[in-house]
């Protein structure tokens, strides 16, 4: 008899994006002629940069010859990509990393979910609220979250990020073992200043807290004063793991490639208080459970750092951030409160007239044919908000704002 991991049964049967898909598909059946504009799920719409495509074509050609064929690659990633990451993402910011501190993966989502494999089940968790659902759900699956009660998990400390506190989280009311930070933030589109981020690093240093820092959207930062990496803060290598992704940076949502930084200065602890290198544990986990991202994909990711690749990626990011500006201006003109959209490709909208997140979602879908994401799906503090993404096509973005203006005014 095969016994199951019963923690999976604690997860709610409904999943945010599948619920949205069901509502949208039902609407399409009853309104087949209406054009629905999807600004909900954060998938990209622009094609891969040409430099990336050229590099991948070349890599495919290499696979046709015995002399250049590549089979299994290193589980940690190829050195050519790791070197490019160190040279371009970290060295210019005064951050020194070793090759063995960077692990190439098939995306930040996988690693933020899998990182719990190397940590005990009874660690306490802290999250900013609202929060990317993977952080919570993966800890539920591992047995760390406790019991769900009135929309909150008993072993999770929720740190509200709402308009009233400027979306700047306070230090948790009680100590936690593991803390999740995502900046620029998904879903609110807001950022933390260097001073605010320093506050969290100092807190972690003083309390032996492990920070999981998701920097998947750092390429969208426009303000030069906003930190791109937590390692820009002194002491962060002793307390933080950083996750990055090529998905939104270079359109790799369908290609799957990202990386995780686990510094060798970072320790976990046994029950006896013995310090253990988390870098060593993560390396062991990856060697056992992961065969590495494909050679072809990693060559494509390397091309992101070429002169042509950098220029093309910048153009794509500027395209999406122009969408964000158009959306924010349009939303504000309609008399709604909107946050984010300046250093991140997300708009966080306060629902009008006290509507719940789902009620506003339904009114936008049924009356304006626009799909957003109900804020409550990201956590209790997301109630009363709705997320829109700037990853759509320009024409759809303009049309969506025109529809919204006609509907609201």
Q: What is the pLDDT of residue 34?
A: 92
Which domains occur in the chain, in start order? 14-43+309-408 (3.90.1150.10), 53-305 (3.40.640.10)
The H-or-E segment that residue 58 falls in is: helix 50-62
pLDDT at 15 over 80: no
Q: What is the pLDDT of residue 18?
A: 82
37-41, 153-157, 302-306, 363-367 — which is least confidently predicted? 37-41
Q: What is the pLDDT of residue 70?
A: 95
* pLDDT tens for each residue of 52-78: 999 999 999 999 999 999 999 999 999
240-245 and 258-261 as β-strands: parallel, antiparallel, unpaired? antiparallel
Q: What is the pLDDT of residue 165?
A: 94
CA distances from 109 to 20, 150, 216 (A): 20, 26, 9
Tell me the C-alpha distance between 370 and 399, whole Å. Answer: 10
* Mean pLDDT within 329-336: 96
* Mean pLDDT within 353-357: 94
pLDDT tier for residue 221 given thresholds of 50, 70 and 90: very high
The beta-carbon contacts of 285-292 under 8 Å, at least 24 apart in sequence, are 285/114, 285/117, 285/118, 286/75, 286/76, 286/103, 286/105, 287/75, 289/114, 289/117, 290/75, 290/105, 291/72, 291/73, 291/75, 292/72, 292/73, 292/74, 292/75, 292/76, 292/77, 292/104
* pLDDT tens for each residue of 131-146: 999 999 999 999 999 9
Q: What is the pLDDT of residue 12?
A: 83
pLDDT at 14 over 80: no
What six digits make up the tokens of 283? 């390396």
pLDDT tier for residue 163 given thresholds of 50, 70 and 90: very high
- CB count within 10 Å of CB 360 equals 23
pLDDT tier for residue 13 given thresholds of 50, 70 and 90: confident
pLDDT tier for residue 42 given thresholds of 50, 70 and 90: confident
38-42, 312-316, 390-394 — which is least confidently predicted? 38-42
* pLDDT tens for each residue of 122-131: 999 999 999 9
pLDDT tier for residue 348 given thresholds of 50, 70 and 90: very high
pLDDT tier for residue 111 given thresholds of 50, 70 and 90: very high
Q: What is the pLDDT of residue 357?
A: 97
* pLDDT tens for each residue of 249-279: 999 999 999 999 999 999 999 999 999 999 9
* pLDDT tens for each residue of 275-324: 999 999 999 999 999 999 999 999 999 999 999 999 999 999 999 999 99
pLDDT tier for residue 17 given thresholds of 50, 70 and 90: confident
């Amino acid at each position: 008899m095969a016994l199951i991991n019963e923690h999976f049964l604690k997860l709610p049967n409904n999943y945010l994006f599948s619920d949205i898909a069901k509502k949208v598909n039902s609407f399409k059946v009853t309104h087949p002629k209406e054009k629905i504009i999807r600004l909900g799920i954060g998938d990209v719409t622009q094609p891969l940069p040409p430099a990336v495509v050229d590099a991948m074509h070349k890599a495919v050609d290499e696979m046709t010859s015995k002399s250049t064929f590549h089979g299994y690659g290193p589980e940690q990633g190829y050195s050519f990509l790791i070197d490019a990451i160190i040279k371009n993402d970290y060295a210019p910011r005064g951050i020194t990393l070793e090759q063995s501190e960077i692990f190439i993966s098939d995306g930040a989502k996988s690693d933020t979910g899998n990182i719990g494999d190397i940590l005990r089940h009874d660690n306490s968790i802290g999250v900013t609220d609202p929060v990317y659902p993977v952080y919570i759900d993966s800890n539920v699956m591992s047995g760390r979250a406790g019991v769900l009660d009135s929309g909150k998990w008993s072993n999770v400390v929720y740190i509200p990020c709402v308009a009233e506190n400027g979306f700047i989280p306070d230090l948790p009311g009680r100590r936690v073992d593991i803390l999740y930070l995502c900046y620029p933030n998904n879903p609110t589109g807001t950022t933390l200043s260097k001073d605010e981020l320093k506050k969290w690093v100092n807190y972690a240093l003083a309390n032996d807290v492990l920070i999981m820092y998701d920097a998947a959207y750092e390429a969208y930062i426009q303000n030069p004063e906003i930190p791109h990496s937590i390692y820009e803060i002194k002491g962060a290598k002793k307390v933080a793991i950083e996750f990055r992704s090529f998905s939104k940076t270079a359109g790799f949502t369908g290609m799957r490639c990202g990386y995780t930084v686990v510094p060798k200065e970072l320790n976990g602890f046994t029950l006896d208080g013995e310090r253990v290198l988390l870098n060593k544990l993560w390396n062991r986990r990856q060697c056992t459970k992961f065969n590495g991202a494909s050679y072809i994909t990693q060559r494509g990711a390397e091309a992101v750092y070429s002169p042509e690749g950098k220029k093309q990626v910048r153009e794509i990011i500027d395209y999406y951030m122009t969408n964000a500006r158009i959306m924010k201006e349009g939303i504000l003109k309609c008399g709604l409160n909107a946050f984010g959209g300046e250093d991140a490709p997300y708009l966080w909208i306060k629902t009008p007239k006290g509507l719940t997140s789902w009620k506003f979602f339904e009114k936008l879908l049924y009356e304006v044919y626009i799909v957003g994401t109900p804020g409550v799906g990201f956590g209790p503090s997301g109630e009363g908000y709705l997320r829109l993404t700037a990853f759509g096509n320009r024409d759809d973005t303009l049309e969506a704002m025109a529809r919204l203006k006609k509907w609201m005014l």
